[in-house]
Amino acid sequence: MAEGDESGFLESYTLFLMAMASANVSAEFHRIAADQGLSVPEWRVLACLHDRKAASVTDLARLSLMEQSRLTHLIGRMQARGLVDRKRSSRNRRNVEVTLTPTGATLAADLVAQAKAHEKAAILDRLGAEDTRVFHDLLRKLMADPAG
Amino acid sequence: MAEGDESGFLESYTLFLMAMASANVSAEFHRIAADQGLSVPEWRVLACLHDRKAASVTDLARLSLMEQSRLTHLIGRMQARGLVDRKRSSRNRRNVEVTLTPTGATLAADLVAQAKAHEKAAILDRLGAEDTRVFHDLLRKLMADPAG
DNA sequence: AAGAAAAATATGAATTTTCACCTTTTTAAA
DNA sequence: TTTAAAAAGGTGAAAATTCATATTTTTCTT
């Protein structure tokens, strides 16, 4: 059997390709976030709240791809830095509503603008409009929980 | 301005879609890895070495999407658990060659088989062969470092 | 060939994340 | 309606990761 016959499992393992592509493209933007003093998880939280104004800890955890208790710790630090606020929901007193402070909101808006610019350069300009659409559709198909 | 007009930045932010799709699909398999007592980073290292027999710490870090010093620490733990071995390369004595132990190799082979089965169910059966090909092509395009 | 610069890995302290469990509040069942 | 079960968050100690830096070896420059 010749040397390169099996040619490697990873090279065509979809989960690896997804993780690698995601990590590579994201790393470009994460440098931008780091310049504003934000870690990746922090940026994710800001981006989520930019969209939704307020969210419960659990929702935020799901959206920002973190485990709940990790998010709780993170929110604590972000609150201490004056980026977010936290208060019990009046409707359901188990829930905690997380919101952006004015400082946080400004920073979030700023970063979101830069994210859009980066996305254009890193994705749209590389793949083109049509392929980008196709790409989004495929990703959305995979995001839907099969067990849902 | 109506309520849902802006419809959210994240919902169509490619980097978010990529991270979310990757996290969701991968989580399914990571449960399998966890059943064998492996964390995600550990599984990644085993998978890389399954492909390449031996790799330097730096190569392994790049392939397994980790920062070098994180990988060094991880390899130390995996070595203590008897999954990998480590020795200075004779060619270039700066390099350290990481290899699988027999135990590690068995575990890796086992997991890779399960990964292939999972991939079939989670990707191929969901997207179909043609779309999977298209998906891979798009991912590969994005993996290539634009600054390369 | 010396010395400077770069490359590969290791190290350890500081920070972050994980894990298991606790409390409180809401929902469901008997 | 009591109790039981589930859902949402928080906590703190243990474990993992990050960050800056040290060491060794190789590669470049002049």
Question: pLDDT tens digits, residue range A122-148?
Answer: 999 999 999 999 999 999 999 986 653
Q: What region, left, alpha or beta, does residue B82 occupy, with left being phi > 0 and alpha being psi -120 to 50 degrees?
A: left
A4 in a domain, yes or no? no
Question: How many whole angstroms separate alpha carbon B73 and alpha carbon B86?
Answer: 12
Residues of B in contact with A145 (CB under 8 A): 24
Decide which of A24 and B148 is more confident. Answer: A24
In A13-32, the residues whose Cβ lies within 8 Å of chain B are 13-26, 28-29
Query: Residue A146 carries which side chain, given as an amino acid letter?
Result: P
DSSP assignment of B111-141 = HHHHHHHHHIIIIIHHH-HHHHHHHHHHHHH
A64 in a domain, yes or no? yes
Query: Tokens 């919902």, residue?
Result: B11
B5 in a domain, yes or no? no
Residues of B in contact with A63 (CB under 8 A): 10
A61 in a domain, yes or no? yes
What pLDDT does residue B109 have? 97
What pLDDT does residue B4 have? 39
Domain that holds residue A100: 11-143
* Alpha-carbon gap: A141 to the closest alpha carbon of chain B (Å): 8
Query: Tokens 């298209």, residue?
Result: B134
Express each pLDDT in A45-96 by its tens digit: 999 999 999 999 999 999 999 999 999 999 999 999 999 999 999 999 999 9
Is the pLDDT confidence value at A109 over 90?
yes
B25 in a domain, yes or no? yes
CATH classification at residue B135: 1.10.10.10
Question: How many whole angstroms separate alpha carbon A17 and alpha carbon A8?
Answer: 13
Alpha-helical runs (H) found in chain B: 14-35, 40-52, 57-63, 68-80, 102-119, 125-127, 129-143
Instruction: Report the percentage of chain A scoring pLDDT > 70.
Output: 93
B113 in a domain, yes or no? yes
What pLDDT does residue B42 have? 98
A2 in a domain, yes or no? no
3-state secondary structure of B100: strand
Of A19, A23, A4, A18, residue with least CA distance to B52? A4
Residue A141 phi/psi, 5-degree rounding, is -60, -40
- Count structural domains, chain B: 1
Express each pLDDT in B114-146 by its tens digit: 999 999 999 999 999 999 999 999 999 999 866
Average pLDDT over residues A100-118: 98
- Average pLDDT value for chain B: 93
Is the pLDDT confidence value at B147 over 70?
no
- Annotate B2-22 with b (16+ C-beta within 10 A) or e (fewer): eeeeeeebbeebbbbbbbbbb
- Average pLDDT value for chain A: 93
Question: Residue A24 is nearest to which of B14, B127, B142, comparing CB atoms?
Answer: B142
Report the DSSP beta bridge partners of residue B87.
Answer: B97
A77 in a domain, yes or no? yes
Is the pLDDT confidence value at A6 over 80?
no
CA of A61 to C1' of C21 (A): 20
**Protein-proximal nucleotides of chain C (any atom < 7 Å from a CB):** 7-12, 16-21, 24-27
The answer to whether residue B141 neighbours chain A at the CB level (below 8 Å) is yes
Is the pLDDT confidence value at B29 over 80?
yes
DSSP assignment of A69-135 = HHHHHHHHHHHHTTSEEEEE-SSSTT-EEEEE-HHHHHHHHHHHHHHHHHHIIIIIHHH-HHHHHHH
What pLDDT does residue A148 have? 39
CA of B125 to C1' of D12 (A): 44
